[in-house]
Structure 1
Amino acid sequence: MLARLLGPASYGVIAIASLVISLGLLIADSGLSASLVQRKEIHDNDVRTAFTAQTLIGIGLALSIALSAPLLAHAYSQPILAPVLQVLAFTLVLQSASQTSAALLRRRMDFRRIQKTQVGSYLLSYLGFGIPAAYLGLGVWSLTGAQVLQTTLNLALLYHATRHPIAPLLQRDTHMLHFGGRILATNIVNWVSTYLDSFLLGRAFGTATLGLYNRAFFLLNTPVTVVVSASQGVLFAATSRTQNQTDTARQTYLATFGGLATVIVPAFMTAAAAAASLVEATYGQQWVNAIPFVLPLAIAMPLFALMAIAGPILAGLNRPQEELRAQSLAALVAIPALLLAASWSLAALVWVGVFVHALRFTLMTAAACNVLRVSAGTISRILLRAVLLAGLCAFLPALIEQFWTAPALLKFLLEILVSGTTWLLLLLMLPNVFTEPETKRYLHRLTRKLPQRFARRFA
């Protein structure tokens, strides 16, 4: 709704500001949240130290961003970027202060509370403020205000759920600093590999083009982020509890990898086949120039999702250096490649971004397989099954997209129905062809949580 009301230019400005804030948040966290989750025992002083450090770093970074905002606005030739970034810098303090509460909930494996908080604060902020403000013509400030409100609500709800001690304390903790430092370095390297293309795209081709790319990215990345964030939190907390049980971690990794591949690869191949209908049905005619971005992003997103589940397992096994090594190597290749592509053409920059995702996936999967003793043949077999399933699911939607003339929404709904039905029938009729044994065992355990009549049928 907001994309239809505001158009690409407003989202280009917000995209640049959000990239800066997201990097600041990684630095403010300093890996301390992961340290609270990973270590076997924590005390009140550990919580106070993490909260104090994260909040102080957040305040310092927020001031730095606010002061340097005019320089960034000048670099992008967008005067409105300076005040927007200065306002959003305030959210960095709030987000930094909320990270300790979120870490404690992840440590307790209370992911339901985290999800309720995130979804609730988002809906209240964007439905309650963002959309009405956009209708009133506030433009980019409707997005800015909604983000400030969401961050404030999220902090209040998370702290209400934990009520952890907040008295200032800074104490030297070797384990926390060492483990957190490796996590911080890994997160920064990940950020560079993931978002450098957006920074370069906005600088080289303008904020309106960045807005188009950002919304296409958001459309495809949001479902992946929801699934991956939930999976990462559970995988990290669960693996941290059983740090020495490599066999259990291996089974968990294969079950998760196989399950994600079976769902995500067909979904995104269908999105690529139905790119025009997807964009027009969701955002409207003014966003048709975002359609060319859908195909490369639809290839990149499954690679990102399958890559991302390796990190929390390696960190939970106290091997974060493995991820840091793999991601650093990817970044060393990505930075010059993306800089060169940005000086060449928009298409080159976007497709080099896909190559970067493929490289990160290859290096991270290899690192996880090495630690967990998983063969390359097993991973290849899972991927081949997923690609075969995806091709069968996307075949009819591609024909519908190409040859049927109908309103975009109607066409896209039919494509979803056809693809989803094909996917379900193939899994039900040929489960041994398209599903890994570890995934089937996990799904069998999952069916026990269903009502009895459904559990018997699915089992």
Structure 2
Amino acid sequence: MPAKDLKSTTLSSLFWKLFEQGGTAVVTLVVQVVMARLLSPVEFGVLAIMLVFVNVGNVIVQSGLNTAIIQVPDASEADFDTVFWMSLAISVVLYVAVFCLAPAVSSFYGMPQAVTPLRVLVLVLVVNAYNSIQEAIVARRLEFQKTFRATVTAGVVSGSAGVVAALLGGGIWALVVQQLLQQACKCLVLALQIPWKPRLRFERDRALLLFRFGWKLLASGILEQGYQSLSDLLIGKVFSSSELGYVSQGKKYPFALGAMLDGAIQPVMLSAVAHVQDDAARVKRLARRALKTSTYLIVPAMTLFAVAATPVVRIVLGEAWLPSVPFVQLYCVVYAMLPIHTTNLQVLNGMGRSDLFLRLEVVKKVVGIAILSFTTFVLRDLHAIVSGYIVVALLCTFINASPNKRVIGYAYLEQVRDICPAFLLALAAALVAWPVSLLGLGDLPTILLQGVAMLVAYVGLSALFRVEEFFYLLDTLRELRMGRAG
């Protein structure tokens, strides 16, 4: 694809991906706020345990093979069909396994009420076998407006159903209904927009080719999700369900904010890199732009969230959730480093280097499990456990970046120099915004005034010091506006 056409398509895709992530975040926030006020921390803790099995299952069903479809240059509808039947078979096997294990899981964690909800919730794995192909087709064609429509519609429908179930006293079932309907509705809306429908065909040779690429990403995904889930499993066992609920809520909102911003840029970059993977210089330019832009947006957002965490939690979730404030702040630090992780990993995916991707995951998980084990079994402190994730995230910035010096000539120190302005500007802006909390204003005025102070300081300093990302974003907005007007 010519550079001009690729840039135009990428900008258009980025526009729709931002709308998708933003729309989803707004709908999800409203739903989660209502649900948090209707349900207890214990019920959210039970959900966190159940989602461990769903999330690990989703990695097995979705990761690897659908990324292979995006990356291979000659993917056909026969490939889509082949991967779908493989994913469907895997999802059914996983569903049966979790169905049989549900009583043992519930007994181990002392949650007898979770047996049937868990068996119903894991039905989402079967739905996601179909959705994984839909998502791959959208990403391959850079048609993210279709995902926008599906995701926002699914959020509204599932959120409404979940809230109604909670109001009717559904308890944990309200959360199950919301999770299951969200994926089913998204799948249905995408099916109305994408002409592909599965056919009864399976090409063994293509399956082997795609699997040779995808199995490494699959193994990497299992390592990553298994590591993330291990924390919930340990907290749920060593501590109480309510404490797990506080940690889960503390992680959820910084993660959602990071996913909204970084998640809009990185999938588009993966598709763009896959189109120019033979030109390392162009890939490096794409990677630098994605890293710098994503960091410039995410770091101040996380900084503001950390500064205003107490009034935000009190006004949004209520007094009962104030113990989650320290976890919100700690996870803001963790997810401020998200862009350097995802940018480097997406480059390896787009370049077809799943071998390096897997090696990195093995190294990172050894480091992460060692720190998690120490904070859980030696220190036995929830705040230490989450603080340990900050140490892991910092170490992993170097681990994730190290191969790309060789692959595309983008060294770690060069990446650090590229993201330093955003961190320094965010710190300076936070020093301007933080004193507002000392004025004794109400929660809402404090949040609004801190937000305004942070924005004015961050943008003002960016303009004053001629920060490249600031002017790039202004130029991009002009291009998008002119493109839409044209």
TM range (shorter): over 0.9
**2:192 aligned with 1:156:** no
Match in the other structure for 1:169: 201
Question: Normalization by structure 1: what TM-score?
Answer: 0.93
Deviation string, structure 1 residues 244-286 (Cα, Å, up to 9, x no partner):
0111110111111111221211221222222211211221111
Deviation string, structure 1 residues 400-448 (Cα, Å, up to 9, x no partner):
22x12232222112211211121122222322xx335xx8557535522
Structure 2 letter corresponding to 1:312: Q
**2:331 aligned with 1:300:** no
Q: Percent identity?
A: 23
Contact 1:311 1:320 in 2 (8 A): no
SS for the counterpart of 2:283 is helix
Match of 2:403 among 367, 387, 402: 367
Mapped to 2, the partners of 1:368 and 1:119 lie a distance apart of 35
Mapped to 1, the partners of 2:479 and 2:428 lie a distance apart of 30
Structure-to-structure mapping, 1:224-303, within 5 angstroms: 224-303=258-337
CA 1:32–1:270: 2 relative to 1, 3 Å: same
Contact 1:189 1:328 in 2 (8 A): yes
Match in the other structure for 1:190: 224
SS for the counterpart of 2:202 is coil
Match in the other structure for 1:144: 176
CA 1:109–1:381: 2 relative to 1, 3 Å: same
Match in the other structure for 1:381: 417
Ranges of 4+ aligned residues in structure 1 off by more than 6 Å: none
Deviation string, structure 1 residues 102-149 (Cα, Å, up to 9, x no partner):
11111111111112211210111102x111221222111111112221
Mind listing any 5+ residue stretches in structure 2 that lack a counterpart? 1-33
**2:84 aligned with 1:51:** yes
Deviation string, structure 1 residues 370-425 (Cα, Å, up to 9, x no partner):
32212333222223212210111111222122x12232222112211211121122
Per-residue deviation, 1:196: 2.4
Contact 2:291 2:339 in 1 (8 A): no
Per-residue deviation, 1:30: 4.9
SS for the counterpart of 1:448 is helix
SS for the counterpart of 1:52 is helix
Mapped to 2, the partners of 1:251 and 1:30 lie a distance apart of 26
Deviation string, structure 1 residues 151-195 (Cα, Å, up to 9, x no partner):
211121122222324123333233201101111011112213433
Contact 2:300 2:422 in 1 (8 A): yes
Contact 1:201 1:349 in 2 (8 A): no
Structure-to-structure mapping, 1:413-432, within 5 angstroms: 413-431=448-466
SS for the counterpart of 1:406 is coil
Match in the other structure for 1:347: 383
Contact 2:246 2:321 in 1 (8 A): yes
CA 1:242–1:223: 2 relative to 1, 3 Å: same
Per-residue deviation, 1:34: 0.7
Structure-to-structure mapping, 1:384-395, within 5 angstroms: 384-395=420-431
* Alignment RMSD: 2.1
Mapped to 2, the partners of 1:450 and 1:182 lie a distance apart of 40
Mapped to 1, the partners of 2:388 and 2:243 lie a distance apart of 17
Match in the other structure for 1:135: 167
SS for the counterpart of 2:112 is coil
Mapped to 2, the partners of 1:376 and 1:331 lie a distance apart of 20
Match in the other structure for 1:101: 134
CA 1:24–1:441: 2 relative to 1, 3 Å: same
Deviation string, structure 1 residues 82-121 (Cα, Å, up to 9, x no partner):
2211110111111122111111111111111112211210
Contact 1:63 1:89 in 2 (8 A): no
Deviation string, structure 1 residues 37-66 (Cα, Å, up to 9, x no partner):
111112232111111111111111111111
Mapped to 1, the partners of 2:75 and 2:290 lie a distance apart of 29
Mapped to 1, the partners of 2:410 and 2:153 lie a distance apart of 39
Mapped to 1, the partners of 2:182 and 2:223 lie a distance apart of 27
Per-residue deviation, 1:305: 3.3
Match in the other structure for 2:246: 212
Structure 2 letter corresponding to 1:137: G
Match in the other structure for 2:31: none
Structure 2 letter corresponding to 1:314: L
Mapped to 2, the partners of 1:404 and 1:84 lie a distance apart of 47
Mind listing any 5+ residue stretches in structure 1 that lack a counterpart? none
Contact 2:344 2:404 in 1 (8 A): yes
Match in the other structure for 1:408: 443
